[in-house]
Structure formats: structure tokens, C-alpha cells
Amino acid sequence: MARKEVLDAGVLSNSSIYAHMPSYFAQDALYYLLYAGEFRCDTRYRIERQHLDMFLVMYVVEGELRCQFGENALSVGPGELILMDCRQHHVYQSIAANTLFRWFHFYGASSCVYYEQICQRHSLVITPSESSLHNLDSILMMMQEEMVEEHLASILIHTLLWDIATSTNTKDSRNPHARQVLSYIHSNYQSDLTVAQLADIVNLSTYHFIRWFKRLTSSTPHEYLIHYRLKKAKELLINTDESVEQIAVRCGFNSASHFCRCFKKAVGTTPRDFRSFLF
């Protein structure tokens, strides 16, 4: 790990960049840091790459950045943070005469899956919480002082991703209705629910409701309903002596055989074997 001289055009004095060599364990099991720094730059600063096998977090303190990657064209102003996927063609540049931003590159663990989840359901530009800014400062300090504790670094990165994933800056303006829809499913999962019934709750067509619901939960309404029925079936298998046939009816499956097929596909074993393994 070492400090590198900043050679990029448009990067002004008092800027810094640091590199880290992650251990093999970190590469196999953790989110890990690769580069980090703090740049002050002018409008000459522009980075364009075809591919970089990592992700980038940037937090703008002053000025403004414009970022393009995939189908995204986003501006990031003071007090805002962006998560970028550098695995595809990407461009980012300063569009202010005096832009100050802090940043780090990371990879590892479930970075790709987590990014896809965020990308589908949330904004990639957020106003971070105070705790996330503290985590960002901690990451930069570890890199600067050449004291990267890799387990802690992984936790800090994961917490930042969680902040982005749970930010109120979601892509979907109808998200406040999500609790109402999910609550309806949870209360009526034993019934023969239809997509049309659920779509009526948020005044959407069935087509738009299915798309909205999948952005919200990463599953279709039918997949979510089956998953919830199986969750309740597990609870009954554990906590009652009811037969598989009785549980199938109670959980809204149209037959015991249908219940068994769904259960084995999701859990990897039959309901009877699941119960016998536990007791």
C-alpha cells in the first residue's frame, strides 16, 4: 500500500491517491479496498475508461461531477454521493471550476449482486447519512495511514452500500404504497389472490404493477406470494403437528402435491423430510 502521485489532467495541488493490495482472504471473502483519495480539480478533469473490474464511490464536497455509465447520466452536487459501476464504459468529469470530492474503488464479496439490487430499486445518487460520511472518512484515513484492517474495511463498505440501498431517494415515487401492498399479501396469503386485486390497491394496470412490484421486491407478485406461503408453511411444520395436507390448505396452495413441489424446489427437501430433520 502506498501513496501515488496524481498525474491526471485537471487535478490540482493538495490532492491525494492511495493504493491497497488486498490479501487473498479479503479477495475471497470480503468487500475490499483497492484505491482511495481526495481530489480537488477544475474543468479539465475528465476520466474515460472502457472497463475497470471494480466499483467506485464518490462523495462531492464542493463543485459538481457529471457521470455516465451504462444507461445512466447523472450529476452529483455538493453533499451528494454516487455509486458507479466501472465494469462498463464510463466517464466522469468536473463541470465546476473548483470541485472537491472524496472517493474509493472497491470490489469483492457480493459487490456485483448488491449493485444490481440497488440499481433496480434505488437511486445511485443519494444524500448520505452522517454515519456514512464518518465511514467514508474512516476508509480514507485507513488508506492514508497504511493501516487497512480488512475486516473493518469490509464492514464500512457494506454499511455504505446499505445506506444507499435504504435511502429515501428511491427511483419509484409510488414506493410509499409498498407497505400497503405487502401488508395486504401478508393478511390474505391464504386466499386466491390475483395480480389485478393487488394492482387495484395502488391504482396501476396489471402490466405496470408487475414491473413496479419487481423493482420493489426483485420478484414478481406470484413469486413473492409463493415465497410468503412457504415461509408460513415452515412455521407450521415447526410449531404444529398438522399434516402436510392441512398445512397446504392453510397456506393457500390448491393441493398438497403443488405445495410439496414448491417446497422442494425452494428448500431442497420435501415438507415431511424437513420436519423430520428438525425433530
- Asked if pLDDT for residue 149 goes beyond 50, the answer is yes
- CA-closest candidate to residue 103, choices 160, 175, 180: 160
- Asked if pLDDT for residue 95 goes beyond 50, the answer is yes
pLDDT average, residue stretch 221-243: 94
CATH architecture of 2-165: Sandwich (2.60)
Question: Is the domain covering 175-278 a CATH 3.30.830.10 domain?
Answer: no
Full-model pTM:
0.72
pLDDT in tens, 157-172: 999 999 888 875 555 5
Confirm if 88 and 52 have CB atoms less than 8 A apart: no
- CA-closest candidate to residue 36, choices 3, 60, 14: 3
Q: Name the band, by pLDDT with cuts 50, 70 and 90, for residue 16.
A: very high
The domain locations on the chain are 2-165, 175-278
pLDDT in tens, 105-127: 999 989 999 999 888 777 899 99
pLDDT average, residue stretch 45-74: 95
For the beta carbon of residue 53, count every other beta carbon within 10 angstroms.
Answer: 10
Query: Distance between terminal CA atoms of the chain?
Result: 52
